[in-house]
Structure 1
Amino acid sequence: MNFQKWDMGSKMIFIASCAAFISFFFKWVDVGFISQNGFTQGAVFFILLFVYPFLMVIREKRMNKKLSYVMAILGIVFGIIYISSKTVDFLSSTINVASSGPYLFMAASGLLALGVYKRRN
């Protein structure tokens, strides 16, 4: 594993995978007096979407770009679904209690898609 000799796409995929993992340490739900990170929310399973592209970069193997695009798009879709599911009624008004974690995860998924596009096979 030599980060220096990787192409730009491989570096982006590596950074996106790290950012996705780091997002689980951020708050995923914040109600003010209660907050939970991605691990306690069970969102940590979303990282499975990054495993295949990450392993192909680390092993420096040829990547199935269609599969990797599907995983990146699913990351964005799951992020949107997660954020939408955190809308609650509170004191006769609707609020969304999703915090910064899912937004960082969605940004990492977008960076994953860009990295797959830029990566040379």
Structure 2
Amino acid sequence: MQENNFIKNKTLEEKIYLVGFALGIISLFLPWVNMGFISANGFQQAGYLLLIPMLYPIITLFSNKKRNNIINIILGILNIIFSIGFMMSKNVTIFGQSINPSGAGLYIMIVATIVIGVGCFLEFKNSKKA
């Protein structure tokens, strides 16, 4: 039986990228807005746009190209800011009370962007040592 070495040959940072991207994709299928009577998943909320900054480390990972660490860290930070900003934009006022109806999918996307950001930071930190 032939063993798949794709995952085994990857660094810790590259494995972190894969986990973060997978979490991001999974989050799109979950509710991003959930108010009981109103629910919308990540596709309906255009959450796939938050995957765009995640594509740089993933594309370079699959094409075996060297990643530019400065671009990587900037995209990681921007994606975290965008995802948290996206969540904050969901605030609504109902009966004079401000609430945020963000669902589990949006929170998972925020975790995914943080995971990717950690991978970017670790890769940047390890490249400084080398």
Q: Determine if the TM-score, normalized by the shorter chain, exceeds 0.5.
A: yes
Cα distance in 2 for partners of 1:118, 1:92 equals 44
* Identity between Structure 1 and Structure 2 (%): 26
**Which of residues 5, 8, 13 is equivalent to 2:9?**
5
Is residue 2:103 matched to residue 1:99?
A: yes
1:66 maps to 70
SS at match of 2:86: helix
How do 1:10-89 residues align onto structure 2 when only pairs under 5 Å count? Answer: 10-89=14-93
1:29 partner letter:
V
Q: CA deviation at 1:92?
A: 2.0
Separation in 2 of the partners of 1:34 and 1:111? 29
Post-superposition Cα deviations, 1:6-48, rounded to whole Å, max 9, x if no partner, equal 1111111111111111111111101111100010111211111
In structure 1, C-alpha distance between the alignment counterparts of 2:83 and 2:120, rounded to whole Å: 19
Runs of 4+ in structure 1 off by over 4 angstroms are none
Structure 1 residue 109 and structure 2 residue 113: aligned? Answer: yes
CA RMSD of aligned residues (A): 1.6
* Distance across 1 between alignment mates of 2:109 and 2:38: 21
> So what's the TM-score if we normalise by structure 1?
0.91
Number of residue equivalences: 121
Asked if the contact 2:83/2:113 (under 8 Å) is kept, the reply is no
Unaligned runs of 5+ in 1: none
Q: Which runs of 5+ in 2 are unaligned?
A: none
Q: Highest Rg: 1 or 2?
A: 2
